[in-house]
Chains A and B, each alone.
Chain A
Amino acid sequence: MRALVLFLGLSVLGANAAGADKILRITFQAAETGFDPARVSDYYSASVIEAIFDPLLTYDYLARPAKLVPNTTEALPQVSADGRTYTLRLRKGIRFADDAAFKSGNRELTAQDYAYSIKRFFDPKYRSPYAFIFTGKIVGLDELAAQAKKTGRFDYEAPVAGLQTPDRYTLVIRLREPDFNFPHVLAFPLVGAVAREAIEAYGEETPSHPVGTGAFRLKRYVRSSKIVLERNPDYRSRVWDFDPGDEPRFRAIAERMRGKRLPVIDGVEISIMEEVQSRWLAFQQGATDIEYQLWELAPSYMTDDGQLKPEFVRRGIQIDRSTDPEIIYLFFNMQDEMVGGFTKEKMALRRAIAMAYNVDDQIRIIRKGQAVRAHYPIPAGVAGHDPRYRISIPYDPPAANALLERYGYSKGPDGYRRQPDGRPLAIRYGSTPTERDRQFDELMKRSLEAIGVRLEIQKERFPELIKLQKECRVMVHHSAWIADYPDGDNFMQLLYGPNTHESNNACYQSKEFDRRYESSRRLPDGPERDRLYHEMTRIMELDTAWLLTDTRIRNALQQPRVIGYTKHPVLHAEWMYVDLASP
């Protein structure tokens, strides 16, 4: 027993000794799935991947809206006059983290690594969830992918006309057609360079053996429980040097951080804590440094006017408040027999439901005030957003009732409305068996009761609900979309007709909308594209395929020792840019 006590004592001492290092402690509220960039789609795995791997481009830490900057390249890509050819020149001397997969020591990053990493998205054995970011874009790549699907084997040696490496440090990408969003694709965290030797050495184990050139490397990994990253000793020389602009908060950060070598901290310890009480108590106890997943508990630490409560201010707790680049919307299945279609009666029904739905209650009750009303399909911080735009669908239950009366949805003896032809009217709302969705069910019921429309809840498990959405078999449902890259196209494509069964879960097919969307694809961000986006939004509102509801606010609480943290709208792993004060 004494030996055991001594052993435990030594363990604790060891932990304290290790505590001299600057280790940032954070939490994930859901389990990761692995760290192979070609295989994952979840936010948490992507965050770790961002810390370990390097995409060609990245975003300036402080610039708002998000601004692309070179990462492993010497400069932003050179784009040919026809907008189809991108030439990227890599910085020399960037090395992969040392790993047993490299037989003769860690090696230098080359253009070939990026070409290989991009090809992997089309290897059928990885069934990559993010293959769509390259699909139909690079000359020759889709043909190779089609061949791989037939044979079941991807030929990495086969030449791809659109992916050329004329020398060790130059990558030339040729596109089928101009794509103004392509630089954002090159900054996508999952497009980080992997080393072929490591992928081949670890085979099916690659999700737990990531080897990259990023600021951190994986030190310890207990799946679904603990992820420990340590500073990559081979990380290239980078210095914290971001322009804070005129924002006072950013200027304060820059003052304390400028000139520090990146990454400033020695490591990151990530604990997976699914339960909100565990996360909250751990943060209050000082066991974690940054906590931004406490939406439900906002009233515990925030005042009604969005300030941190005095007791937390006294303890030196800091808060970073920002809105996510996301939209949440209620969609109507435009192919549904009850609510779909473009006849006046159906448009009136959708409009009436949208006018009866109480978005303010959604923000006040369900979001606990931690959300802002969404008016435009493109959220703040994303190119194409218009802060002056106001939604043309008001909250007005009396007017909604009048609209239904006018189009023949009269009430039956039971007090509920019927369809104009006398058949029963019932709205089926898709929902999952969770506490949060139960709140949405209740709000939807209250909203529809106000206009005499009967509600049926369609309870499905999450995977099944996704399937039904993609098959255009969910009548009405709430959906959310967070930016993959900060450009309006990533949001407007959600309503493009040909994307039905893919991302267009309203199954909305409007020739007027689609024609304008196709034109917008040929335009860079600017007034002309903005004008098209305005028109498209008004067309969608007129058809009432969606009712935009809200965008959530992210409150990142930080311990007093955290220096330089602010949530970036696109980057997930800001860890390399922060410092920790010594105790």
Chain B
Amino acid sequence: MIPYTLRRLWQFVPTLAGVVLLVFFLFNWVGGDPAYLLAGKISNPEQIENIRRQLGVDESYPTQLGIFVKQIATADFGASWATNERVSDIFRTRLGPSLTVLVPLLLISTLLGMAAAMLVAYLRGSLTDRAVMIACTVGQSISILVYILIFQYLLAYRLGWFPVQGWGTTFGENLLRYSALAIIVGVAVSLAPDIRLYRTFLLDEIGQDYVRTARAKGMSEGRVMWVHVLRNAAIPIVTNVLLQLPGLLAGAFLIERFFGIPGIGREVILAVERSDFPVIKAVSVYVAIATMVVNLVADLLYRAIDPRVQLK
């Protein structure tokens, strides 16, 4: 396992290099010139040049690329061009609120999704199965924006169960009071695709010979489903869950904007609107690294879940 892990870690280098080149060239080709935005309402070409010089965007492309690589190596992306806030501070202060919403959201939607998928997979072909699948198809085809608008209007404004938006000063208040509606919206959005996906994974297993054998041996249906079927369906489920983890770094900008959550998603959108390259660079690199790490962890977990899997 160690040689495999080392080999995979080594493969991170060319992948990351590809990400760096892509981000760098995309920003320079289509990212817009931040100097004109920072220069304010009235500026002359000399002021624009001064800003470009200070930001370092007047340097040659190889030099700028070299600076980018150095920033990754030192994990120091400098300060935001728009607000002067250190990029490390942006992550330090914005990740907490994002995770306060997204971690419970991921946990709840995964557990609910698995339970519901198990039920409809067990009842395959029944009226319940068909009704749930139709509901999932409809639910999946509705934009998250619609969920947010309706839930915010109904549950927060009309019924007054939650605040319309806001963020407090304590973790408990933020989790239970301000994040609750955002989590409900997130779960509602992700439940439909999760149920459909997990149902497919489970159905693949239910038709296998070992399930028939287990039943022939007289095992209870609960044990067959929860122990045998679920364990064998776990690999794709784990993959799906793990692949969602890097997204936690990028936040959920729509949810954060509507519910006033000071998370990283809002910051990413602001950075794009302002052509704030240091923040864009940091987010892109961190998400890329997280994706690679998560993929590696997922592969290692396969082996733990199913000893038949060979890591080569």
Q: Is the CB of A226 within 8 A of B51?
A: no
Partner of B84, one of A8, A34, A502: A34
CB contacts (< 8 Å) of B153 on chain A: these are: 277, 281
Chain B 27-57 near chain A by CB (<8 Å), digits 1 or 0: 0001011101111111111011011001000
Q: Is the CB of B262 within 8 A of A464?
A: no
Q: Is the CB of B82 within 8 A of A33?
A: yes
Tell me if A484 counts as interface (CB < 8 A to partner B): yes
CB distance from B133 to the nearest CB of A (A): 31
CB contacts (< 8 Å) of A149 on chain B: these are: 50
| In the bound complex, CA of A226 to CA of B153 (Å) | 22
Specify which of B30, B41, B50, B273 lies most central, judged by the most chain A CB atoms within 10 Å of its CB: B41
CB distance from B247 to the nearest CB of A (A): 20
CB contacts (< 8 Å) of A130 on chain B: these are: 40
Tell me if A127 counts as interface (CB < 8 A to partner B): yes
Specify which of B39, B172, B270 lies most central, judged by the most chain A CB atoms within 10 Å of its CB: B39
Q: Is the CB of A129 within 8 A of B40?
A: yes
The residue in chain B whose Cβ has the minimal distance to the Cβ of A7 is B172
Partner of A281, one of B44, B156, B177: B156
| In the bound complex, CA of A222 to CA of B30 (Å) | 31
Q: List 27 A-B contacts (CB under 8 A).
A: A34-B84, A127-B38, A132-B41, A208-B85, A222-B262, A223-B83, A224-B270, A225-B266, A226-B167, A271-B165, A277-B153, A278-B259, A278-B260, A281-B156, A282-B165, A285-B160, A460-B32, A461-B32, A462-B37, A462-B273, A463-B33, A463-B275, A466-B36, A467-B36, A470-B36, A481-B41, A503-B41
| In the bound complex, CA of A281 to CA of B258 (Å) | 11
CB distance from A75 to the nearest CB of B (A): 30
Tell me if B139 counts as interface (CB < 8 A to partner A): no
Specify which of A7, A124, A224, A481 lies most central, judged by the most chain B CB atoms within 10 Å of its CB: A224
Tell me if B166 counts as interface (CB < 8 A to partner A): yes
Q: Is the CB of B164 within 8 A of A463?
A: no
Q: Is the CB of A464 within 8 A of B32?
A: yes
Q: B141-178: which have CB < 8 Å to A?
A: 149, 152-153, 156-157, 160, 163-168, 170, 172-173, 176-177
CB contacts (< 8 Å) of A281 on chain B: these are: 152-153, 156-157, 164
Tell me if B93 counts as interface (CB < 8 A to partner A): yes
Partner of A124, one of B54, B160, B172, B177: B54
Q: Is the CB of A462 within 8 A of B32?
A: yes
CB distance from A268 to the nearest CB of B (A): 16
Tell me if B257 counts as interface (CB < 8 A to partner A): yes
Tell me if A177 counts as interface (CB < 8 A to partner B): no
CB contacts (< 8 Å) of A461 on chain B: these are: 30, 32, 275
Specify which of B34, B36, B172, B173 lies most central, judged by the most chain A CB atoms within 10 Å of its CB: B36
Partner of A11, one of B45, B51, B170, B257: B170
Tell me if B79 counts as interface (CB < 8 A to partner A): yes
Chain A 96-138 near chain B by CB (<8 Å), digits 1 or 0: 0000000000000000000000000000110101111000000
Partner of A467, one of B33, B40, B156, B160: B33
Q: B213-272: which have CB < 8 Å to A?
A: 257-262, 266-267, 270
CB distance from A243 to the nearest CB of B (A): 32
Q: Is the CB of A226 within 8 A of B262?
A: yes
Given A127-B51, A130-B40: A34 and B83 interface contact (C-beta under 8 Å)? yes
Tell me if A405 counts as interface (CB < 8 A to partner B): no
| In the bound complex, CA of A11 to CA of B266 (Å) | 27
CB contacts (< 8 Å) of A271 on chain B: these are: 165-166, 260
Q: Is the CB of A127 within 8 A of B273?
A: no
CB contacts (< 8 Å) of A8 on chain B: these are: 172-173, 176-177
The residue in chain A whose Cβ has the minimal distance to the Cβ of B55 is A127
In this complex, the interface size class of chain A, counting residues with CB under 8 Å from chain B, is 35 or more
| In the bound complex, CA of A41 to CA of B82 (Å) | 10
The residue in chain A whose Cβ has the minimal distance to the Cβ of B157 is A281
CB contacts (< 8 Å) of B40 on chain A: these are: 41, 129-130, 132
CB contacts (< 8 Å) of A125 on chain B: these are: 54
Q: In the complex, how many residue pairs between chain A and chain B have their CB atoms under 8 Å apart?
A: 141
The interface size of chain B toward A, counting residues with CB under 8 Å, comes to 55
Q: Is the CB of A501 within 8 A of B44?
A: yes
| In the bound complex, CA of A190 to CA of B81 (Å) | 20
CB distance from B252 to the nearest CB of A (A): 14
Q: Is the CB of A222 within 8 A of B167?
A: yes
CB contacts (< 8 Å) of B48 on chain A: these are: 470
Partner of B45, one of A287, A463, A501: A501
CB contacts (< 8 Å) of B273 on chain A: these are: 462
Specify which of B42, B152, B177 lies most central, judged by the most chain A CB atoms within 10 Å of its CB: B42
| In the bound complex, CA of A281 to CA of B83 (Å) | 29
Given A33-B83, A124-B50: A4 and B43 interface contact (C-beta under 8 Å)? no
| In the bound complex, CA of A95 to CA of B33 (Å) | 41
| In the bound complex, CA of A451 to CA of B258 (Å) | 42
| In the bound complex, CA of A204 to CA of B45 (Å) | 26
Tell me if A272 counts as interface (CB < 8 A to partner B): yes
| In the bound complex, CA of A475 to CA of B166 (Å) | 43
CB contacts (< 8 Å) of B173 on chain A: these are: 8, 11
Q: Is the CB of A31 within 8 A of B260?
A: no
Tell me if A207 counts as interface (CB < 8 A to partner B): yes
Partner of A278, one of B32, B85, B258: B258
CB contacts (< 8 Å) of B149 on chain A: these are: 277
CB contacts (< 8 Å) of B51 on chain A: these are: 127
CB distance from B96 to the nearest CB of A (A): 11
CB contacts (< 8 Å) of A476 on chain B: these are: none
Q: Is the CB of B267 within 8 A of A224?
A: yes
CB contacts (< 8 Å) of B270 on chain A: these are: 31, 224
Given A127-B54, A278-B259, A467-B33: A223 and B42 interface contact (C-beta under 8 Å)? no
CB contacts (< 8 Å) of B44 on chain A: these are: 501-502
Lowest 3 A-B CB distances belong to which pairs? Answer: A129-B40, A225-B262, A463-B32
Tell me if A439 counts as interface (CB < 8 A to partner B): no
Q: A467-497: which have CB < 8 Å to B?
A: 467, 470, 481, 484
Chain B 61-93 near chain A by CB (<8 Å), digits 1 or 0: 000000000000000000100111100001001
| In the bound complex, CA of A271 to CA of B257 (Å) | 12
CB contacts (< 8 Å) of A129 on chain B: these are: 38-41, 43
| In the bound complex, CA of A36 to CA of B84 (Å) | 10
Q: Is the CB of B257 within 8 A of A274?
A: yes
Tell me if A211 counts as interface (CB < 8 A to partner B): no
Given A31-B270, A462-B32: A287 and B164 interface contact (C-beta under 8 Å)? yes
| In the bound complex, CA of A501 to CA of B33 (Å) | 15
Tell me if A392 counts as interface (CB < 8 A to partner B): no
CB contacts (< 8 Å) of A41 on chain B: these are: 38, 40-41
CB contacts (< 8 Å) of B32 on chain A: these are: 460-464, 467
Tell me if A39 counts as interface (CB < 8 A to partner B): yes
CB distance from B278 to the nearest CB of A (A): 14
Tell me if A337 counts as interface (CB < 8 A to partner B): no
Besides A129-B41, A271-B260, A275-B257, 14 new A-B residue pairs in contact (Cβ under 8 A), listed by A number:
A8-B177, A11-B170, A11-B172, A34-B83, A36-B84, A41-B40, A204-B84, A225-B266, A281-B153, A285-B156, A461-B32, A462-B273, A470-B45, A503-B41
CB contacts (< 8 Å) of B267 on chain A: these are: 224
Q: Is the CB of B33 within 8 A of A464?
A: yes
CB distance from B272 to the nearest CB of A (A): 9
CB distance from A488 to the nearest CB of B (A): 16
| In the bound complex, CA of A143 to CA of B304 (Å) | 71
Chain A 195-237 near chain B by CB (<8 Å), digits 1 or 0: 0000000001001100000000000001111100000000000
| In the bound complex, CA of A448 to CA of B180 (Å) | 50
CB distance from A188 to the nearest CB of B (A): 12
